[in-house]
């Protein structure tokens, strides 16, 4: 299957993408990983992307599109893929359609993970990270440490990352609603959108997604 995963920050896209890709035996292609891989390998696209990032500018669509195209042409992605973080806007969605069309291919589904804004704010703004080890992650509501402000595992100080602050989260949501959300309407015009609730336990959301994609595949 060829699937695009869409959802606001904090919807659990990365987690769901990993589970779904494994269950469907297709590669998980995330823009974050693409950027990191190209930059670390110092490819021409990586150098170009880094020059924009170092200047504090957004990487232009054409660079992101070229990276995605290169990755989708790798042997492991020829039988299908799950795109996470791409396309990020309607012009990228149109470019993806053109890319697939030239190969005689098309998307099978666009999986829209739905989470209310206030739940997104609660999920992200409540996160606390250990200064000693960033893999030790807590949450003021869902996974509070035994002693407030201290890591259960190593006693390190817990802090809130700058980009997890509530006002930053709300700005990120605003960007999502204005730039990325319009691709849902774009794909609805092609009857590709499958919307599921991303509330609840991780495995429940995965189960919901698998059932929705199976129905889409059977139609």
Q: Is 10 labelled a binding residue?
A: yes
Contact 111, 209 (CB under 8 A): yes
Alpha carbon separation from 31 to 4, 43, 100 (Å, rounded)? 12, 15, 18
pLDDT, average across residues 77-93 = 95
Q: Output DSSP code: residue 60.
A: P
Residues 63 and 84: their CA atoms lie apart, in Å, by: 16
> Residue 161 catalytic?
yes
Q: Is 200 labelled a binding residue?
A: yes
Supply the pLDDT for residue 219: 64
Residue 217 has pLDDT above 80, yes or no: no
Residue 196: beta bridge partners? 113
**Residue of 66, 73, 29, 75 lying closest to 46 (CA atoms):** 66
Q: Report percent pLDDT > 70 for the chain.
A: 99
Q: Is 189 labelled a binding residue?
A: no
Residues 112 and 114: their CA atoms lie apart, in Å, by: 6
**Residue of 140, 139, 134 lying closest to 156 (CA atoms):** 134
Which domains occur in the chain, in start order? 2-218 (3.40.50.300)
Q: Which two tokens stand for residue 201?
A: 């336990």
Q: Which of the residues 71, 122, 127, 208 is marked catalytic?
A: 127
Q: Which two tokens stand for residue 24?
A: 């469907």
Q: What is the mean pLDDT of the chain?
A: 93
> Residue 172 catalytic?
yes
Q: Which of the residues 2, 71, 88, 208 is marked catalytic?
A: 88
- The predicted-structure confidence for 184-206, as pLDDT tens digits, reads as follows 999 999 999 999 999 999 899 99
> Residue 13 catalytic?
yes
> Residue 128 catalytic?
no
**Residue of 172, 167, 162, 135 lying closest to 10 (CA atoms):** 172
């Amino acid at each position: 299957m060829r699937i695009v995963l869409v959802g606001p920050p904090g919807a659990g896209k990365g987690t769901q993408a990993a589970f779904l890709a494994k269950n469907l035996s297709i590669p998980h292609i995330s823009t974050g990983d693409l950027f990191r891989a190209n930059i670390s390998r110092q490819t021409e696209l990586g150098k170009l992307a880094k020059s924009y990032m170092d200047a504090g500018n957004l990487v232009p669509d054409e660079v992101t599109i070229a990276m995605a195209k290169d990755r989708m042409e790798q042997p492991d992605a020829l039988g299908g893929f799950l795109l996470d973080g791409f396309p990020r806007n309607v012009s990228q969605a149109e470019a993806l359609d053109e890319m697939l069309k030239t190969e005689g291919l098309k998307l099978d589904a666009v999986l829209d993970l739905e989470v209310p804004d206030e739940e997104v704010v609660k999920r992200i703004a409540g996160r606390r990270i250990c200064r000693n080890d960033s893999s030790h992650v807590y949450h003021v509501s869902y996974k509070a440490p035994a002693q407030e402000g201290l890591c259960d595992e190593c006693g390190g100080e817990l802090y809130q990352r700058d980009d997890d602050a509530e006002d930053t989260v709300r700005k990120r949501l605003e960007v999502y609603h204005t730039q990325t959300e319009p691709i849902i309407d774009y794909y609805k015009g092609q009857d590709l959108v499958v919307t599921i609730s991303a509330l609840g336990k991780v495995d429940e959301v995965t189960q919901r997604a698998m059932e929705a994609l199976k129905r889409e595949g059977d139609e």
